[in-house]
Structure 1
Amino acid sequence: MTDSPIKTRREGHVLEVTLDRPKANAVDLATSRIMGETFKAFRDDPDLRVAILTGAGEKFFCPGWDLKAAAGGDAVDGDYGVGGFGGLQELPRLNKPVIAAVNGICCGGGLEIALSCDIILAAQHATFALPEIRSGTVADAASIKLPKRIPYHIAMEMLLTGRWIDAEEAHRWGLVNRIIPAPDLMAQAWDMARLIASGPPLVMAAIKEVVRDAEDSKFQDALNRVTRRQLPTVDALYGSEDLMEGFRAFTEKRDPVWKGR
C-alpha cells in the first residue's frame, strides 16, 4: 500500500522499516498496530536476520505519540497492537537485532522506540528529549529503561526537566553508538546490518534472549539458566548444526557457512 505510514525495503537478510507519516512521523494507534505487525512478520520470517528502523525525511525520526490524533479521539490507553507502542517495546520473543538510524528529532515515545532497539546510530543533527513532563504526563517506558542505559542522574534530569540533548551529548552518555554525517547515515546503518546478518543467526537469537532474561536476574541464576539450556534459543543453539559448523570452520581455517539450524 503506497499510502501506508510504514514503508519497508528488503535486501538479503536485512529489512529496512521507515516510519513515513508526514509531517513529523508521529505515531497514532493505527500506525502503532501496523508497526507491530511489521516487526512480528520480521520476527517470524526465518530468512530475515536484522532490521533497520528509521524515519522518513531529514527532520524527524519520531516525536512519539500523535497528540492531534489523541485530541481527535485516539485514547492514550488504546490498542497499540501486538508489539505495544511503536511495535517493538512489548513484542514477545523478538530475538533478532534491530538498529535505529535516528535521522533527526527523537523525543517522547520516539525515544522510547529507539531505546527498544539494540543499536542506535545518530545523524549529526539528531536531538533527543523526553518532554512529557511539560504536558503533565509520564514517559512510562523511558522511566523504566533510560536510567538503566545511561547514568542515573542524567536520565533523571531528562525525565524531570524535559531538557533536550544533541547527538554529541547523547554519544557522550552512551545513549547512541556513534554519530554519522546525515548523508551517510543509512549507508552505514546498512553496512552494520549486513555485518551482523553475516554472523550466526542462532547465536544472535541466544544473545538477545540471554540479555533480556538476565536484565532483572541475579548473575548466578541467569547463568544457571544458560548452562542448563533452560532458554529456548540457547537450547536450540547447543544442539544445532551451526555450532558444529563453527568448530569445523575454525579447525579447517575457512569461513563458516551458517544455516540457522
Structure 2
Amino acid sequence: MTLRVERDEENGVAVVTLDRESRHNAVDLGTAAELAALWREFRFDEEVRAVVLTGAGTAAFCTGIDRSAQVPQPASPYSVDDPLVAIGPKANDLWKPVVAAVNGMACGGAFYLLGEAEFIVSATTATYFDPHTSYGMVSAYEAVYMAQRMPFGEVARMSLMGTAERLSARRAYEVGLVSELAEPGELLAAALRSARTLASFPTEGVQGTVRALWSAKQAALQQALAQAPALIALGNLPPERQAELFEGRRPGTDFRLR
C-alpha cells in the first residue's frame, strides 16, 4: 500500500497521506489505482464526512507521475491513456469536501489532485511548478485544472516557464490558489481545523454545496479536458527524447522562486 489512511471517527474526518516519501510522493500505477478505489470507498463510508489529503515528509506533497511507470499506449493518434485522470475525488464521484494540505513541492501531476480539492492549505515552505515544457511535454490537464483556480496570466506563466520558476507559497496565496498559509509544523493541524468544521455540519448541506460549486465550472472544465489527449499526442516529444532532456537537466533547473 502506498497510501496511509487515518480515520478520526469522532470528528468524521479521514487523513489520506501519499506515502512514497523516497520517491517524493510520485504516483505510480499502483498508487493511482489505490487513490481511485479509496475515493469510491469514501462515497459509502458515512463515518467520513470530510477528507484531508497530504504527502509524507516535508520535501514534497506530490511530484506527479513516477517517471519509472510504464503506461502502454494505443496506436491511435486520437487516444492517449493517462493513468492520472482518475486519481482525484471528483473523477470518482465523491462530493464530500477534500482539503489539500500541501507540505512541500507540488508539481506536474500533483495538479490533478489539487485541481479536485475544495481548497488548499499550504505550508509556507511549499512551492508550486509545472515542469512539462522543459522536457518537451504538453501541460494539458495540469494547465486546465489550474486555469480553474488561478488568474490566466499566472497559470500561463507557471505552465510555460517549466523548471525555470517555482511559485512560492506566499505568491500562491496572493493569486488565490492557496486559501491559508501555515508554518510547516502547524500545517496538518490547520487543515484538520477546517475539515473538522466541515464534518460537523449536516453532511447533506455540505455535499450539496460542494456539488453546486463544481457545477458552476464543470461544463467548461470537461470541454477543456476533452482537448487534452489530442494536444498531448501532437505536442509531446517521443519518450526517449523526453528522458534525454530529463537526464540532462535542461537550462531552467536552477529555478527562480517568485
Q: After TM superposition, is the score higher than 0.5? A: yes
CA distance in 2, matches of 1:121, 1:43: 23
**2:204 counterpart residue number:** 202
CA contact (8 A) 2:15 2:53 kept: yes
Q: How does 1:221-236 map to 2 (within 5 A)?
A: none
In the TM superposition, residue 214 of structure 1 has moved relative to its aligned partner by 2.4
**2:191 counterpart residue number:** 189
- 1:26 alignment partner, SS class: coil
CA distance in 2, matches of 1:125, 1:190: 19
Q: How does 1:1-261 map to 2 (within 5 A)?
A: 4-12=1-9, 13-23=12-22, 24-69=24-69, 73-75=70-72, 77-78=80-81, 80=83, 84-88=85-89, 90-92=91-93, 94-162=94-162, 163-215=165-217
**Could you report, residue by residue, the CA deviation over 1:128-148 in whole angstroms, capped at 9, with x for unpaired residues?**
001111112222222222122
- 2:114 alignment partner, SS class: helix
Aligned residues: 209
| Inter-CA distance 216–97: structure 2 relative to 1 (3 Å threshold) | closer
| Inter-CA distance 149–171: structure 2 relative to 1 (3 Å threshold) | same
Q: Which runs of 5+ in 2 are unaligned?
A: 74-79, 221-258
CA contact (8 A) 1:50 1:193 kept: yes
CA contact (8 A) 2:89 2:95 kept: no
| Inter-CA distance 217–80: structure 2 relative to 1 (3 Å threshold) | closer
The code of the aligned residue for 2:192 comes to W
CA distance in 2, matches of 1:39, 1:59: 25
CA contact (8 A) 2:87 2:113 kept: yes
- 1:66 alignment partner, SS class: coil
- 1:149 alignment partner, SS class: coil
| Inter-CA distance 36–217: structure 2 relative to 1 (3 Å threshold) | closer
In the TM superposition, residue 68 of structure 1 has moved relative to its aligned partner by 2.0
CA contact (8 A) 1:29 1:79 kept: no
**Percent identity (aligned):** 32
CA distance in 1, matches of 2:209, 2:117: 14
- 1:47 alignment partner, SS class: coil
**Could you report, residue by residue, the CA deviation over 1:216-241 in whole angstroms, capped at 9, with x for unpaired residues?**
569xxxxxxxxxxxxxxxxxxxxxxx
RMSD: 1.9
CA contact (8 A) 2:86 2:92 kept: no
CA distance in 2, matches of 1:57, 1:149: 26
Q: Which runs of 5+ in 1 are unaligned?
A: 219-261
CA distance in 2, matches of 1:121, 1:75: 35
